[in-house]
Amino acid sequence: MSTKSSLAHGPHFHLYSETFDDAHVYLALEGVQFKASERDVEVAIPLAIWEAIRRHTPVDLSFVDKTDEDIRRLVESETEERTRVFAEAEEDKRKVLRLFGASIYGQPDEPREIQFANGLAYYTRLRARHSKLKQDIEDMRRP
């Protein structure tokens, strides 16, 4: 099973992200000039490929401006909803429902307090990552 998620692709390039790596995008190029040394890599990107990929930005900064209260309300709402849906589901559907949100909240049949704490920690870290990314982008734009 591939962990690549295509952002843009064409006959001689593939711009993609990896499912478990939210800090990078990857660009695979075929048939282009490059120079590599121990310290750097230089790649000649054809303008047609550059035009195709420059419009595709996977940068999500949606949590930069979220307050602690915004995050608390989101986590509270999602925790309540997933707990309710799981409780009302038939046993055969619960197997699938265990997968949704498990990486953020844990299992839907765990106590709400645990799910809430997990969700709060996750979204607080996400806001910090988005804030750092925004700062990094701003720093690169400075002359």
Q: In the 8-state DSSP scheme, what is residue 11? A: T
CA–CA distance from 15 to each of 9, 38, 55, 86, 118 (Å)?
6, 24, 11, 37, 32
Q: Are residues 16 and 81 in the same domain?
A: no
Instruction: Assess whether 73 and 136 both reside in one domain.
Output: yes
User: Do the bridges between strand 4-10 and strand 13-18 make them parallel or antiparallel, or are there none, so unpaired?
Assistant: antiparallel
In a domain, 60, yes or no: no
- Token readout for 73 is 């309300």
User: Quick one: 91 and 125 in the same domain?
Assistant: yes
pLDDT in tens, 22-32: 788 888 999 99
Report the share of the chain in percent with pLDDT over 70. Answer: 98
Nearest CA among 47, 52, 108 for reference residue 81: 108
Query: Range of 104's domain?
Result: 68-141
89-102 pLDDT per residue, tens? 999 999 888 888 89
Length of the chain, in residues: 143
pTM: 0.73
What pLDDT does 79 receive? 96
For residues 8 and 31, give the distance between their C-alpha atoms in angstroms, rounded to a whole number. Answer: 17
